[in-house]
């Protein structure tokens, strides 16, 4: 395990509307709160919803938030196909992968596309390319909530506090969720709950 002082490079991958940027912001704010250096970057395209979104974050580093894919330590994927696309770019080593168990069924009529990867195939490929694979149990996490609003990103943030190299304690995590997502009284209750629940649903495969 790396010492806490060393740089930790994290890639967040997913789709527009999943809260990727907010997730990176939560990590960065926690880092600042504990007196660490941190920087991150967001890359997104044209669409409000559904387009590819990536965010890259570096702990204990303050100049370039972008890093070479060969230098990534942790890959946090909120959608399987987006995650595999990034993993394909890494030839040199295998990173630690934390993955939301979510595969977006796309409209297969895109360009009359018949060759469309099956979820099982993607699962297999991701597993092969990860040094350690942790799955966030989306279905069971979802069951803990009544409404339509389910903050998976907060759940993943909670799960990430269990990884020592990030150096985020439960206490800080809770404080950050309240600070960043506490404005709307109704939603803040859901976010609070998501933070409480999240860490229960991460499992090493």
197 within 8 A of 63, measured Cβ to Cβ: no
Nearer to another protein, 1 or 115 (CB): 115
The site map against another protein for 16-55 (x = CB under 8 A) is --------xx--xx--x----xxxxxxxxxxxxxxxx---
Taking CB under 8 A as the rule, does residue 89 contact another protein?
yes
Count of residues that interact with another protein, criterion CB under 8 A: 55
Nearer to another protein, 1 or 46 (CB): 46
CA-CA distance, 14 to 78, in Å (whole number)?
5
**Considering only residues 121-180, where is the footprint of another protein by CB under 8 A?**
121-122, 125, 147-150
Taking CB under 8 A as the rule, does residue 2 contact another protein?
no
Taking CB under 8 A as the rule, does residue 65 contact another protein?
yes
Strands 38-44 and 52-59 turn out to be antiparallel
From candidates 107, 120, 139, 171, binder to another protein by CB under 8 A: 107
Nearer to another protein, 149 or 170 (CB): 149
Residues near another protein (CB under 8 A) = 15, 24-25, 28-29, 32, 37-52, 62-69, 71, 81-82, 84-85, 88-89, 105-111, 113, 115-117, 121-122, 125, 147-150
């Amino acid at each position: 395990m790396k010492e806490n002082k060393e740089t930790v490079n994290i890639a967040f991958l997913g789709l527009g509307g999943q809260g990727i940027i907010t997730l990176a912001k939560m990590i960065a704010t926690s880092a600042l709160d504990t007196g660490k250096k941190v920087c991150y970057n967001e890359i997104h395209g044209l669409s409000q919803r559904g387009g590819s979104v990536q965010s890259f974050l570096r702990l204990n580093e303050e100049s370039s938030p972008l890093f070479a894919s060969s230098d990534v330590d942790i890959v946090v994927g909120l959608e399987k196909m987006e995650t595999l696309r990034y993993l394909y770019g890494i030839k040199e080593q295998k990173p630690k992968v934390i993955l939301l168990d979510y595969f977006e069924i796309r409209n297969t009529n895109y360009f009359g596309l018949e060759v469309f990867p099956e979820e099982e195939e993607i699962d297999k490929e991701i597993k092969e390319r990860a040094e350690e694979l942790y799955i966030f149990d989306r279905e069971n996490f979802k069951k803990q909530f009544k409404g339509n609003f389910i903050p998976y990103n907060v759940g993943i943030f909670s799960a990430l506090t269990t990884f020592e190299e990030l150096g985020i304690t439960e206490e800080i995590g809770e404080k950050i969720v309240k600070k960043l997502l506490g404005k709307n009284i109704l939603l803040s209750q859901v976010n609070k709950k998501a933070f409480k629940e999240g860490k229960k649903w991460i499992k090493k495969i």
